[in-house]
């Protein structure tokens, strides 16, 4: 199994940009047997993965959109609340936010309490996150962080009982609804609602690009979906796959077992690897774009209701 860091990163950004430019005619010849083309993603930036499943941020840590958790306390908008039916729902939601390679340990006193060390792709510990049961109605559990400075725009997540949620507004979009909007580089097109907004959990709109792309480091792929959100979308879609296939078909878009580009990559000398997800399974791989991987559609995800 390969990881995205299986190549020694010794190139600076400028060199990588030159090496990956689709118009560059000076790319050196590398023997075919040494040309990496695809590999399983086995390690993630675990902080980034969790971050973008709670509050999505850009590369500088600036707020982009809320995904899970609503700020009910106006005095501290970094404390986010979610309404759930019971503790098991809260625990399952928390675990679903973590990257596939995050190790979760049970932590006393409760048999459902959890602790996870969040590492970067090099395996270095960056933050520790805790899921703790709270026996103070209406609060069921809280998610907190050891350092409290690594995660952006969130200091605590508080799970409360559904019945205690202060507002019960209906979601402005229902699953299957479309919205037309201008989006990066493609003009007007359709966004599909794949999840309704509910108590402290954002609704989610998804776009599949009309054109297939062969990305390079200059193409603006930062507007594509993050790996964490892409995994969450994949889980939603797989819950009623045939219906979503039909919905997207109405908008002349194809949802199938193909890989779709998402927003993460790594590069080293003469190697630019872009992430892609197979929405039908949740599998994330990288593809080496320097050697012209097959063109793929990309996905975008935006949230609403929080």
What pLDDT, in 10s, does the model give residues 170-184? 899 999 999 887 655
* Helix, strand, coil distribution of the chain in percent, nearest 5: 20, 35, 45
What pLDDT, in 10s, does the model give residues 197-224? 999 999 999 999 988 887 765 555 778 9
Mean pLDDT of 82-100: 96
User: Does the pLDDT value for residue 1 go beyond 50?
Assistant: no
Q: How confident is the model at residue 141 (pLDDT cuts 50, 70, 90)?
A: very high
Q: Which residues of 46-74 are buried (b: 16+ CB within 10 A; e: fewer)?
A: bbbbbbbbbbbbeeeeeeeebbbbbbbee
C-alpha span between 11 and 273 (Å, rounded): 14
C-alpha span between 130 and 107 (Å, rounded): 9
Mean pLDDT of 67-79: 95
CA distances from residue 130 to 113, 141, 156, 257 in whole angstroms, order as listed: 8, 10, 10, 35
Predicted model pTM: 0.81
User: Does the pLDDT value for residue 10 go beyond 90?
Assistant: no
Complete DSSP assignment for 187-206:
EEEEEEEEE--BTTB-EEEE
What's the confidence (pLDDT) of residue 45? 95
């Amino acid at each position: 199994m390969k990881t995205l860091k299986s190549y020694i990163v010794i190139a600076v950004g400028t060199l990588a940009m030159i090496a990956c430019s689709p118009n560059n005619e000076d790319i050196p010849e590398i023997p075919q047997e040494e040309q990496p083309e695809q590999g399983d993603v086995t390690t993630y930036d675990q902080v980034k993965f969790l971050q973008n499943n709670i509050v999505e941020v850009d590369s500088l840590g600036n707020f982009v959109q809320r995904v899970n958790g609503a700020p009910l306390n106006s005095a501290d908008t970094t404390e986010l609340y979610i309404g759930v039916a019971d503790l098991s729902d809260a625990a399952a939601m928390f675990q679903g936010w973590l990257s596939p390679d995050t190790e979760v340990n049970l932590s006393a006193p409760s048999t459902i309490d959890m602790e996870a060390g969040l590492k970067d792709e090099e395996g270095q510990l960056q933050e520790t996150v805790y899921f703790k049961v709270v026996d103070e109605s209406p609060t069921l559990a809280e998610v907190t962080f050891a350092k409290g400075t690594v995660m952006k725009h969130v200091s605590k997540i508080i799970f409360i009982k559904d019945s205690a949620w202060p507002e019960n507004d209906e979601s402005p979009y229902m699953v299957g609804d479309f919205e037309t909007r201008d989006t990066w580089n493609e003009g007007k097109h359709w966004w599909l609602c794949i999840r309704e907004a509910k108590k402290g959990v954002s609704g989610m709109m998804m776009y599949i690009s009309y054109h297939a792309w062969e990305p390079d480091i200059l193409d603006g792929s930062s507007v594509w979906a993050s790996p964490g959100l892409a995994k969450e979308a994949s889980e939603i879609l797989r819950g009623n796959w045939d219906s979503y296939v039909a919905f997207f078909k109405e908008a002349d878009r194809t949802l199938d077992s193909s890989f779709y580009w998402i927003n993460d990559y790594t590069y080293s000398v003469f190697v630019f690897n872009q992430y892609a997800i197979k929405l039908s399974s949740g599998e994330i791989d990288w593809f080496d774009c320097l050697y012209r991987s097959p063109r793929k559609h990309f996905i975008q995800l935006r949230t609403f209701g929080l």
